[in-house]
Amino acid sequence: MAFSVTLTFMKTLKEVMYEALEQGVALGHFNISDSNQLNGIAMAAQELNVPVVIGVSEGESKFLGLDKMVVMVRATGKEYGIDIFTNADHTHSVEGCKLAIDAGMDSVIFDGSKLSVEENISSAKEVVDYANKSGREVIVEGEVGYIGTSSKVLDEIPDDVSSVLPSPEDVKKFIDETGASAVAPAVGNLHGMLKGRTNPALNIELIKAMRNILGNETGMVLHGGSGLADEDFTNAIKAGINVVHINTEIRIAYRKGLEAKLAENLDEVAPYRYLNGGRDALAEVVKGRLKLFNNL
């Protein structure tokens, strides 16, 4: 079943995430560093008539600006007539999450995956409590298990990526004790793309067990989507994943598109005449992923 949303801009991110789970599809989450990338993602979402989430990591938000990003995404939703949401991706401090909430982000990810279980839970709970006092609905997502941090092309799996995956009980404990709306568990995934080969397959049975113990009210988010086989995405969504993050793939497409466009005319200096090369290349990758995630 295709995922379609009435474009009234009245639904919250939580409602759209729940609808995705009910329909057996997943929201696509894509990171940006500039408005050109945002336009490419919006073009793809508009063509397919599906909602989309726009994320910025701490590095990306520092480059772009949180306040600017929120306003820009909202304006883009109005311009393209799409349901589009904002997310502060992989925020490693409670204070950083609070700044993102104050800026108007629809969701924030507290990444305490390198902390002890106790520290991760207590810090995530502090973020949830702050979000609950904001006067609006903010999705707070936490991470359980460590999958690395590199959104780039990798020669090998990083040594610091944990080989021990969290159990369904670990994930349930995190949600119960923090009150978080969503969780990003380690299920065999990793950030970044392995050079010349697909990333390791996901543990689909573990995803199923996690979804069964969590029920349908909690979002389950797959990070490190770049480099996975299409079958892994499809099976993970069927098992209960309802949001999928993509970054490295679109970074590569964007750069290659820019390089190809610049190569057509090495003397061109007007940015709007070559930036569209990156935008269009990125849009094609996003469109392909959105088709897959939404069974189109």
Angstrom CA distances, 2 to 51, 123, 126, 257, stand at 12, 37, 37, 29
CA distances from 166 to 172, 186, 226, 246 (A): 10, 7, 21, 22
Which of the residues 89, 106, 111, 232 is marked catalytic?
A: 89
DSSP state of 223: -
Whether the Cβ atoms of residue 204 and residue 236 lie closer than 8 Å to each other: yes
Known active-site residue 89: yes
Structure tokens at 234: 């499809």
Residues in CB range of 207: below 8 A, 6 or more apart: 185, 187, 220, 236, 239, 240, 241
CB burial of residue 205 (10 Å; 0-12, 13-18, 19+): exposed
Distances (CA, A) of 11 to 5, 14, 55: 9, 8, 18
Q: Which of 182, 197, 155, 194 is nearest to 55 (CA)?
A: 182
- The residues carrying an active-site annotation are 89
